[in-house]
Amino acid sequence: MIDKETKHLVYVGLGNPGQKYRKTRHNIGFMVIDRFAEKHDWELKEVPRFQSKVAKGAFEDITAHLLEPAAYMNLSGHPLRKYLNYFHLGPDSVVVVTDDAALPFGEMRFRLLGSSGGHNGLKSVEQHLGTRNYARLRMGIAGKHYGQQPLEDYVLQDFSREETDELPNFIEQAASVLERLLTEDPERVMNDVNTKVKNKDDSEPTKTL
């Protein structure tokens, strides 16, 4: 049973399960969760009950949950709903980390609510949570080859050589955002993360999968 006096944050990385997809652009959400776990020496373990890889740890009066659904991207919401139900947690505890082909590679946006923007993983999360009111950290994956092929092919390819060189720093920045959310006001974190792109189009993505 959850201690109601403790704050809980459920960090959910979106991606596709299996070695075939491990390094693809669509799996950057998993990469960020993996890095967070590595930094804090946590081990993500497969838990069949939740159809996910899971880790959990305490930061003073906050419990952080890490979740990587083992369902394919367009079914991501079902394992998340099962996890939240088990621990009696609501959508307000959720922070989803996902790829976003509407953002340039290396840019992040943090939102406390919003639409799925056509992203199949976010569509599934929204469907199973029954609300758009959950936080999401969107990781830009639109590199210089974006638009040269169908989107469904682009997101399922590995990062380019140039992107791979920059990827560790990008993932590290995202993991640091998740750490900040444990101790700082989400509005402040959002303002800091989004300041770098405040003069650019701030609309929700319309082309992601």
What is the C-alpha R_g of the chain? 16
Quick one: DSSP state of residue 71?
Answer: S
Residue 42 domain-assigned? yes
Domain that holds residue 160: 7-195
Tokens 């936080």: give the residue: 135
pLDDT of residue 185: 93
The domain that contains 45 carries what CATH number? 3.40.50.1470
**DSSP per-residue string spanning 45-90:** EEEGGGTEEEEEEEETTEEEEEEEESS-GGGTHHHHHHHHHHHT--
Q: Residue 26 catalytic?
A: yes
Structure confidence by residue, pLDDT tens digits, 97-139: 999 999 999 999 999 998 888 899 999 999 999 999 999 999 9
- What phi and psi values does residue 3 have, to the nearest 5 degrees? -75, 115
Question: Which entry of 8, 26, 65, 119 is annotated as an active-site residue?
Answer: 26
Residue 202 domain-assigned? no
Residue 200 domain-assigned? no
Structure confidence by residue, pLDDT tens digits, 34-86: 999 999 999 999 999 999 999 999 988 899 999 999 999 999 999 999 999 99
Distance CA 163, CA 1 (A): 43
Q: Domain count for the chain, please give it.
A: 1
Residue 15 domain-assigned? yes
Residue 41 domain-assigned? yes
Residue 164 domain-assigned? yes
Residue 80 domain-assigned? yes
